[in-house]
Amino acid sequence: MSLFDFFRARSTDNPKPELWQFKHWQVRVIRSLRRKTLGLELKPHQPIIVRTNKSTTRNEIEKILEQKQRWLEKNLEKLNSLPRTQRRELKEGEKIHFLGETFSLRKSVTPLKSAFLVRTESHINFLMPQEMLQEPLTPKMVHQILRQFYLREARKYLPLLLKEIAQQTGLQPKKLRVGYMSSRWGSCSSKGTISLNSKIMAAPSWVIESVIVHELCHLRHMNHSKEYWKLANSLFPRHQEADQWLHDHLS
């Protein structure tokens, strides 16, 4: 399970997605009344995810998968060659990703009543109340502790980085919101508010810069037109490389 898999909480109209076999792959179909198009999502060591509307038939889905077979084989082979990661438990020595670097976890006792993570130059401290040391953490507790850590760090780091990039590009947002987002790295509203996902703090700084530039360019073009991409690529030519990094490491 990747970091993004661990955090992601999907929202859908169908709480029980379909799971069936197509050739030698498993397919997981998630349907939504609001969905107008069919989309494919690939993740390492997981079924092919198909997002579509309520009316799309299995035959229609399989026809599209058949058309995409070469693409599926190529990309799934690459993804499934990635090593499987273990479920996060926040044990001593466990690896935590922050700004593209890997830090070892060290446990310490705190007199406070709640557990939390603190970053140092060489490692990440996991401070726990004495009574929690001997008890295994539930997945929900681990999720909450990691979520709070990235959110706290994001609220310190992202406003300064956004201000710097906005000054360099001349694209000034009206407001910044930093918070947990289930399925997007960032967004830009028609009122000029930039929203950034706190989970992006696991990525290297240049990948975060790519996300910020991407959203700032929407202040001028609220679409993904040729004019938008001309502006975005002129300000940050590594968008495709950054998207690939996010896909390979956090998706």
What would the two tokens of residue 164 be?
């710097």
According to DSSP, residue 148 is labeled: H
List beta partners, residue 50: 29, 40
pLDDT tens for residues 33-58? Answer: 878 889 998 887 788 999 999 999 99
Eight-class DSSP state of 202? G
CA-to-CA separations, 60 to 17, 36, 38, in angstroms, rounded? 17, 14, 10
Q: Which distant-in-sequence residues (6+ apart) come within 8 Å of 109 by Cβ?
A: 127, 128, 129, 130, 133
Q: What total of structural domains would you count in the chain?
A: 3
The model's pTM is 0.68
Strands 18-22 and 25-31: antiparallel
How confident is the model over 107-135, as pLDDT tens digits? 999 999 899 999 998 999 999 998 887 77
Among the three residues 52, 80, 108, which one is the final residue of a domain in this structure? Answer: 80
Which of 120, 129, 172, 173 has its CA nearest to residue 149?
Answer: 120
Most distant CA atoms of the chain, gap in Å: 60
Does an H or E element contain 126, and which? strand 123-128
**Domain assignment of residue 85, yes or no:** no
For residues 13 and 28, state if they share a domain.
Answer: yes
Residue 187 sits in the same domain as residue 241: yes
Cβ atoms of residues 162 and 173 within 8 Å: yes
Q: Domain of residue 139: give its range.
A: 95-150
CATH of the domain at 156: 3.30.2010.10
Do 157 and 118 lie in one domain? The reply is no
Q: Which tens digits make up the pLDDT trace of 60-103? A: 999 999 999 999 988 888 777 665 555 677 888 999 999 999 99
Estimate to the nearest angstrom the gap between the alpha carbon of 156 and the chain centroid: 19
pLDDT tens digit string along 150-196?
A: 999 999 999 999 999 999 999 999 999 999 987 789 999 999 999 99
Mean pLDDT of 209-236: 94
Query: Does 162 share its domain with 172?
Result: yes
Same domain, 156 and 244: yes
The domain boundary residue, chosen from 80, 115, 138 = 80
Q: Which two tokens stand for residue 203?
A: 């990525």
Write the pLDDT tens digit of every residue in 200-211.
Answer: 999 999 999 999
